Amino acid sequence: MIDTKNETISEKVTLLLSKMTIEEKVGQMNQYNGFWDVTGPTPQNGNAKKKYEHLRKGWVGSMLNVRGTENVREVQRIAVEESRLGIPLIIGFDVIHGYKTLSPIPIAESASWDLKAIENSARVAATEASAAGINWTFAPMVDISRDPRWGRVMEGGGEDPFLGSKIAQARVKGFQGDDLSKPNTIAACAKHFAAYGFSEAGKEYNSVDIGTSTLYNVVLPPFKAAVDSNVKTLMNSFNELNGVPVTGSSFLQREILKGKWNFNGFVVSDWASMRELIEWGHAKDKKEAAKIAATAGSDMDMEGYVYIEELAKLVKDGTIKESILDDAVRRILTVKYELGLFDNPFLYCDETNEKEQIGNEAHHEAVLDVAKKSIVLLKNENNLLPLKKSGQKIALIGPLANDKNSPLGSWRLASDDNTAVSVYEGLSKYKENTLSFEKGIDLIEGNTSFTQPLKVNNTINTSEINKALQIAKNADVVVMVLGEHGFQSGEARSRTEIDLPGRQQELLEKVYEVNKNIVLVLNNGRPLAIEWADKNIPAIVEAWQLGTQTGNAVAEVLYGDYNPSGKLPMTFPRNLGQVPIYYNHKSTGRPNPENNVFWSHYIDSENSPLYPFGYGLSYTTFKYSDFKVHNKKASINEDIKISVKVSNTGNYDGKEVVQLYIRDLFGSITRPVKELKGFELIELKKGESKVIDFTLTKNELGFFNNQGEYIIEPGDFEVFVGGNSAENLKETFVLE
């Protein structure tokens, strides 16, 4: 069927392009930061006066970090009323996990494995952001990462390409909705293209050296999934990949994205990443940087001053063809048309709607819902949890226990400081227990901010510790809230240790000496190495940074009003030395213990992680049985039908993420020991059983070879099902 709407847009774009000067075309490819928030190195050349002047000339296609209907209206007014052609701006912002009302940080939400809840969370974020004038979010981040040292794992979907792809699609759908021209839907941006999550040693902005197999099979699939979901834009990244800074990579942007995948949206650079081609030693000056980036298919320059200063000259002197500009501008204008901006440039600037939507009560309910679903129960010895609701003395201890700021997490420029419900406030609502609180120690010295480094407190105040020990001694149960401050993960927050920062481990051990009945609630933006806690502390709850409703979500889980159902989207190592550790690793040639030392292992640590990918407990228990592969011999084009019975064998109603993994035993490119290829989140009443069906199709049974071709090879497969990646029932099938 011919899409007449797009035909019309295409014709309109052609007509508009024919009227544009080279400078105006370059202008559409130029994005300036606004005048308030800064999310990268301070701009070198841009001052407000110059930016206004360029707006008037039609030399700005987009602005980021302008928010609020009043501010957006003003810059938009200049663009449409004062520039020659009146082309509206597209207004970008990092709506990463909510706008004002915050959902859990993305890694936390990913732990819900609840695609509907994730989509809904993005919908809420889009509703608030669009009401504040924004029509383009720089999300979702779909970078797969295996390295918890990298601070930005908090922003992604974890380590697995299959789960990551599903989450990418859910988020794109949540932001973009079904009709982009509606005033409450915004363009999404899959970032960072590509391989940023593999920064060497987890160090921010670092080089990446990975093989083609990892690129095609692990890094690219979530981007492809986003493109298949009609994501309107992609952002490239700060890293180089195998020697080429990706902002200048024709291979990634022209050959794969716009070639093989036929992507027809546009690519924005990351903040000044075009200019950084010079720092990388890839371009000798801005002129060369502009040439490389434009030729490579980077369509818009974010706060880099490279296109605006150099691109027109390069076209005029014949160094690059004007058709490169035409292609980029066509892409950008098309998205603006699709957003409805040409029909009404002030579509997203309705002050009444802004007042109604920002912080709306329904949004609080929605983020509470996804916050509960994001919590992962890591350990629950002797059923210490859920807590009894009356007659208990609860001691709440820890520097994060009454913090209203840290639970908001990183990336929350539009929210107000200190607006999270703290764990203390959440637990206080259960009034039939006695709750006392002592922080014990401070985690951070001084102020915290998104742009400045923070200082971890390494001192101990004995009298504070003693107060904490005192309440611990007298308590039936101690709840300790420890972990990372919200600004210890996120961009430019790489760590070389992944333990409990500051003196928290010491506090934990001291409290343990006086009362062993401890529930450890972790707040963190990355997997932490907590081997001591796992060995000694009876109950451990992974509560990440859960956003505005943090304390209410944690309290509902601790008291059993919500039975935890989250599963880890990233492996938790025993120690830093195991990193990178991930479930879908290769076999090696010596995978099994030998009666001598010559097998693949460490001499000072087990190979297994502390908690595997996909792991998470519930207050109830589930049993898997009757695992069947219905066609154990199949031709290469046939689907494989699988079923398994899951029973709730415990004392609570509960939810379980039923996970399906395969192993292709022999491949022309060796295959991982396990690969997630299906999952279903089910709800079972106590005593209830359900049969769950899975189908493996050609989309799940193959892989990419080193030429980037998708192939399915005949041979023997194993298939596993279970509640995490390590404990599974096993069956086999053969593809002929």
Q: Which residues are catalytic?
A: 270
> Does position 197 bind ligand BGC by CB under 6 A?
no
Binding mask 126-145 for ligand BGC (x = CB under 6 A): ------------x-------
Q: Round to the nearest angstrom and report the end-to-end CA distance of the chain.
A: 37
Smaller CB separation from ligand BGC, 137 or 380: 137
Residue 271 CB, nearest approach to ligand BGC (Å): 4
Rg (CA), the chain: 26
d(CA 29, CA 308): 8
| Residue 55 · residue 75 · CB < 8 Å | yes
Residue 216 CB, nearest approach to ligand BGC (Å): 23
Identified binder of ligand BGC from the candidate list 136, 223, 263, 271, rule CB under 6 A: 271
Residue 276 CB, nearest approach to ligand BGC (Å): 11
d(CA 175, CA 182): 11
- The partner residues of 717 in beta bridges, in order of sequence, read 664, 733
* Of 263, 207, 204, 198, the residue nearest 231 (C-alpha): 263
Residue 188 CB, nearest approach to ligand BGC (Å): 12
| Positions in 48-77 near ligand BGC (CB under 6 A) | 64
Six token digits for residue 184: 């409450």
φ and ψ at residue 62, rounded to 5 degrees: -155, 155
Residue type, 461: N
Helices (H), 58-160: 69-77, 106-110, 115-131
Smaller CB separation from ligand BGC, 248 or 573: 248
Identified binder of ligand BGC from the candidate list 270, 309, 403, 675, rule CB under 6 A: 270
| Residue 236 · residue 247 · CB < 8 Å | yes
Binding mask 594-633 for ligand BGC (x = CB under 6 A): ----------------------------------------
> Does position 99 bind ligand BGC by CB under 6 A?
no
Smaller CB separation from ligand BGC, 64 or 541: 64
**What are the percentages of helix, strand and coil residues in the chain, rounded to 5?**
35, 20, 45
d(CA 7, CA 197): 38
Identified binder of ligand BGC from the candidate list 28, 30, 31, 39, rule CB under 6 A: 39
| Positions in 530-549 near ligand BGC (CB under 6 A) | none
Q: Kindly list the distances between the CA atom of residue 550 and the CA atoms of 112, 121, 231, 335, 491, in Å, as whole numbers in the listed order.
A: 15, 15, 30, 36, 22
Identified binder of ligand BGC from the candidate list 83, 89, 94, 239, rule CB under 6 A: 94
Residue 616 CB, nearest approach to ligand BGC (Å): 28
* Of 188, 206, 211, the residue nearest 196 (C-alpha): 206
Smaller CB separation from ligand BGC, 486 or 723: 486
Smaller CB separation from ligand BGC, 151 or 407: 151
Q: Kindly list the distances between the CA atom of residue 537 and the CA atoms of 497, 509, 576, in Å, as whole numbers in the listed order.
A: 21, 9, 20
| Positions in 450-509 near ligand BGC (CB under 6 A) | 491
Using CB under 6 A as the binding criterion, the count of chain residues that bind ligand BGC stands at 9
Closest CB to ligand BGC: residue number: 39
Smaller CB separation from ligand BGC, 64 or 441: 64
> Does position 40 bind ligand BGC by CB under 6 A?
yes
Positions that interact with ligand BGC (CB under 6 A): 39-40, 64, 94, 138, 191, 270-271, 491
